[in-house]
Amino acid sequence: MAVNQFFSQLKALGREFSEFERLFSPENKELRRLVFYAESSIYFRYYQDYIEHILSNSNFEICYITSDPADQIFANHDSRIKPFFIKNLLPGALARLDAKVLVMTAPDLGSRGAGISIKRAPDPVHHVYAFHGISSTHQYYRPAAFNNYDSILCIGQYQIDELRKTESIYELPAKELILTGYPLVERLYREHQQYKVEHTHKENGAQPKRPVCLIAPSWWWISPESSIMENCIDQIIKSVEGRNWDVWLRPHPEYLKRYGKRVDEISHRLSSSSNVSLKTELSSMQVLHEADILVTDHSTIAMDFFIATERPVLFIDTPLHVGNADFKNVGLEPVENAFRGQMGFRLPPDRIVEIASTIESLLAQQDDFAKKVPQIRSSLVANWQSAAKTGAEHILRKCRS
């Protein structure tokens, strides 16, 4: 096994060197004008709508660098998207990059002590940050998470207010803050409307499907007990087994990557369960459409689910995700705290025995929570159904400047 792993790593490194040379070949000079970087395959979903608008409204090609050798982008058949696999050689690639614009979803760019190796490309590359979750900027993220970006595609006005306040408090240079919106949740909403039409058609005259409860915990490197997986997953499983609805446990991708043995233990336990199962396929968002209720802790998937499907969320009140101990200095309440109780119910870990009855109550009140969606959506997400155009046009302007 060790020998096979060695040769596999050697093959991947050889592929990287080849991709590195191809990326910086003279014939790809123009291609490097616009670069998107993804840490893994799942990040394409956050770029997809921006890229589609750029391809439809310009003659640009997209240089797409990914650190995932099995990224779905390599199966993309659009000839104007040129993917490159670069992982271990990424620091060298960014140090040499001569792009006009580099778009990323990685916070803490070039920040000391952040535990990452991603640094800014040389000037005058314009670095654009795209959010991959609906949240405030000052509680979950580290203090310097966005300091080294030139422009940020903001999901809502609250992010602009928070970032400007942070710049003022710490005397930071002003960044370009673009009130953009969030293309992913817009697409999920459109897909869910189609799903409902198809689902209603299929079930006409058929036996109604059992309700589905999706458990989607977060992963938090600073305090693992903030995640359901480390705090109370065993008690949850015990409380929901044998119910007349199905329960799908979908761990966070980072948890799957780091705690494989623990996931295997849970998988073995659930193999004999009649209604609880493990979902480890993360590339598809189909489970969001099929779920009737979401159970999570502090994951931003709660916002996506509530806005896109118009269905309620059960929040387990594990300890807060706090990446910035001084977040209260900004003086603005984080939206992930402010809206938590409006999208469903909250349950502390010491009352997990009540989870089944709470889920039953939420299932019975789905229509009531659906009525709340438009107002909450307008507070959290700007430019509804035009976010991709807004963000992509900003990227194109920077490419053409």
Successive 10-residue mean pLDDT values, the chain, 401 residues? 70 91 96 96 96 98 96 93 96 96 95 69 97 96 95 98 97 97 98 90 67 93 86 95 95 87 92 93 86 96 97 96 94 97 96 96 96 98 98 98 91
Angle, CA 254 vertex, CA 308 and CA 294 arms, to 5°: 30
Answer for the pair 122, 50: CB distance below 8 angstroms, yes or no: no
Characterize 349-381 residue by residue with b for buried, 16 or more Cβ atoms within 10 angstroms of its Cβ, and e for exposed: beebeebbebbeebeeeeeebeebbeebbeebb
Against a cut of 0.85, is the pTM above it? Answer: yes
Predicted confidence at residue 176, as pLDDT, reads 98
Predicted confidence at residue 240, as pLDDT, reads 96
Quick one: which of 271, 264, 213, 270 has its CA closest to 238? 270
Query: Alpha-carbon distance 205 to 198, whole Å?
Result: 14
Decide: helix, strand or coil at residue 283. Answer: coil
- List CB contacts of 322: < 8 A, sequence separation 6 or more: 139, 140, 222, 223
Residue 97's CB is within 10 A of a number of other CB atoms, namely 19
Characterize 103-136 residue by residue with b for buried, 16 or more Cβ atoms within 10 angstroms of its Cβ, and e for exposed: bbbbbbbbbeebeeebebbeeebbbbbbbbbbbb
Residue 250's CB is within 10 A of a number of other CB atoms, namely 22
- List CB contacts of 63: < 8 A, sequence separation 6 or more: 23, 28, 31, 32, 33, 34, 35, 36, 82, 84, 99
Which run of H or of E encompasses 179? strand 176-179
Phi, psi of 4 (to 5 degrees): -60, -40
Query: Alpha-carbon distance 381 to 2, whole Å?
Result: 48
Question: Got the DSSP string for 102-165?
Answer: EEE--SSTT-TTSS----PPPTTPEEEEE-SS---SSSSS-TTTTTT-SEEEESSHHHHHHHHH
Predicted confidence at residue 9, as pLDDT, reads 77
Query: Alpha-carbon distance 72 to 83, whole Å?
Result: 10
Strands 293-296 and 313-316: parallel
Predicted confidence at residue 55, as pLDDT, reads 98
Predicted confidence at residue 111, as pLDDT, reads 80
Predicted confidence at residue 10, as pLDDT, reads 82
In the chain, the domains with their CATH numbers are 19-182+384-400 (3.40.50), 185-380 (3.40.50.2000)
Predicted confidence at residue 203, as pLDDT, reads 59
